[in-house]
Structure 1
Amino acid sequence: MSHGSHSSATNMGASTCKMEMLWNWNIVDSCFISSSWHIKSNAMFAASCVGAALLVVCLEFLRRVGHEYDAHLLRQFQRQLRRQQAALANATPANCCDGVPNVGLQYATFRASGLQQLIRAVIHAITLGLAYLVMLLVMYYNGYIFISIMLGAILGKFLCDWMVVRLPYGGEGEKDERRTSVGATGPSGCCA
């Protein structure tokens, strides 16, 4: 098939994608990521804008899932450490600390298991893949898609990353918080 016949087939009814590497406001005949994502109507473009925004919301959600899973693993380790400390404290005689110097602050090290690390890696890979898709959408320099991505980022941050911080305050609360933190008394549980 010659190049001339291909261009005449294109002119007979099939429209081509408008792809510009400069800022644009194109709607109909825009293409994003692949030729199958060819915008042929205003409604299709509106759905693409909503889809781009939801893609960013999903990205923020996956970031949150990753952080929550990491926090879950740490809480699980802290509970296990506290149980070990309590068991050691119950097994040790009451006068265990007589003549034993306080060793100060000690640390317990947590290392994720193979399955936990695999889950963390999968969450990270999906998050990275979505981030690259969003980046590719931005690189089409379409103003409407860019605005949709920004609105999706605002909505995603608002819905999925609500800031909640637990801060100790007061005299007794600080002492209690120090005791319940990981590694504050060490794995022996003695001489807190």
Structure 2
Amino acid sequence: MKNPSNSSKVLSLFLLVVLLGTSSCKKIEDLLTFQVNDSSSFMIPASGLLNTTVLSLPGATVSSSSSGTYSANNTSADYVQDVTLDRLALTVTDPAGQNFDFLKSVKIYIASDNQGTNKTLLASLDPVPTGQTAITLTPSGAKLDLYLRSGSYSLFTDVTLAQPVRQNTTVRADSRFNVKAKLK
């Protein structure tokens, strides 16, 4: 007959090993998951255009912080496996006091070049809430590895106007990407 205390010890040891193994895997997984934060600005030109007019703005090149972030996380662009947009916020920076009431909807696309030959929807918002000087768009869920492997990418913006834009309006786009990568 087996000694019950030995069975308890074996079971306790087994549970301890499983717990430690799970904890170690989580730590490794955390090392391979991090965020890249980028910021850029673009201008929506003044126009006397009527409501529901769609403006396609030229591409704005973003110098990404991805290379430095990869290095800080002991990896490189070659080891990136999965990039998705976590958050994209737009803030009116000029003129002071301007809000997004002139917009009905907004779509932002990402491309690896300034010509937009491989544009992918990054995020959108429809309808744009009134009275806001800052808005958060809904991420598209697209896989974005290609775009964050190089040191820069371009953003293209399509806006549908709710009313004419009375003066040039500068907007800052703050993006946060979730990245999964292997260690170098």
Question: Normalising by structure 1, what TM-score?
Answer: 0.28
Which structure dedicates a bigger proportion of its chain to strand? Answer: 2
Larger Rg, first or second structure (1 or 2): 1
Question: Normalising by structure 2, what TM-score?
Answer: 0.29
